[in-house]
Amino acid sequence: MKMGNTVDLVLFMGQSNMSGRGNAAESVVCQSGHGYEFRAVSDPARLYDLVEPFGVNERNPESGVDDRLMTGSMVSALCEAYFSLTQVPIVAVSCSMGGTDTDFWRPDKPPIQDAIGRLKKAGLFLAQNGYTVRHRFMVWCQGEQDGGAGLPGEEYIARFNAILDRMKSAGIETCFVIQIGHRRDADDFDEIIAAQEKLCRENPDAVLASIKFAGMRDLMKDRSHFTQTGYNITGTDAGLNMARFVLTGHKPL
């Protein structure tokens, strides 16, 4: 059942594995009408069919959200999978930056203000153009930088909760967390991986959308990033789990 002009507005935030370091030519195709990109920075006057590399035009040097290395992400796979169960397209908004820790995204700093501005601009465009926004979500994939710096898990949780609280005050209902993986040659991210599971158990507004990256060393293209196949698998998994949460109200186990 299609729902006319009903959409779900989703902000994609995090570091390089959210931005995507894959190969756009190998990405899952998000069929026309199944997902859109709102380009809040480069062209906020229309919706685009969602294609990879998602977010490549959305650089903002003034805020520091200025990723120049986007080559293919998990977002098209996520949106296609989400639509397959919900029949509602995602309007996706990019706001991610490689190499960033949770301090970069602190609630009083320019990057999160940029994210909120992009979300508001998208909501206004949709309202003015006859769309009904059913849900406002964020998808978060970040933590490698904090893990590499040895940030304690409890501190990661406290910082994440402060970020989510700020985003909730801007209209976000739920944050879907895509758990980070390991480095290809080390296990120094264990504490952050465990912290992400704990925060999703304890915070009712945080949902663990995928744990696929943590078991995907064979699909890494370098020490820290995944092949497009890895992004496709994780994006599909996350999209299906997000859809199931929306349809049932139950967090995935």
Number of structural domains in the chain: 1
Q: Is residue 238 part of a domain?
A: yes
pLDDT surpassing 70 at residue 7:
yes
> For residue 253, is it within any domain?
no
Give residue 111's identity as a one-letter amino acid code.
Answer: P
CATH number at residue 117: 3.40.50.1110
User: Would 111 be classed as within a structural domain?
Assistant: yes
Task: Assess whether pLDDT exceeds 90 at residue 35.
Answer: yes
Binned at pLDDT 50, 70 and 90, residue 242 comes out as very high
In-domain check, residue 79: yes
pLDDT computed for residue 186 by the predictor: 86
How do 43-49 and 35-39 pair as beta strands? antiparallel
Task: Report yes or no on 1 lying in a domain.
Answer: no
Strand 6-14 with 43-49, pairing:
unpaired
Confidence at 4, pLDDT banded by 50, 70, 90: low
Q: What is the pLDDT of residues 167-208, one digit of tens each?
A: 999 999 999 999 999 999 888 899 999 999 999 999 999 999
As given in the structure block, the two tokens for residue 40 are 């809040």
* Alpha-carbon gap, residue 118 to 55, rounded angstroms: 12
Condensed to tens digits (0 to 9), the pLDDT of residues 108-167 reads 999 999 999 999 999 999 999 999 999 999 999 999 999 999 999 999 999 999 999 999
Confidence of residue 1 (pLDDT cuts 50, 70, 90): very low
Residues 21-33: what's their mean pLDDT?
98
pLDDT at 253: 74
Q: What integer is the mean pLDDT of 32-52? A: 98
Residue 243: its pLDDT value, please? 98
- pTM comes to 0.97
More confident call, 6 vs 4: 6
**Domain span at 101:** 6-248
pLDDT confidence tier of residue 2, bands split at 50, 70 and 90: very low
- Residue-wise pLDDT tens digits, 50-107: 999 999 999 999 999 999 999 999 999 999 999 999 999 999 999 999 999 999 999 9
Burial 161-180 (b: 16+ CB within 10 A, else e): bbbbebbeebebebbbbbbb
Going from the C-alpha of 43 to that of each of 37, 66, 100, 205, the distances in angstroms are 10, 16, 25, 31
Please indicate, yes or no, if residue 134 is contained in any of the structural domains: yes
Q: What is the mean pLDDT of residues 213-221?
A: 95
Residue 232 inside a domain? The answer is yes
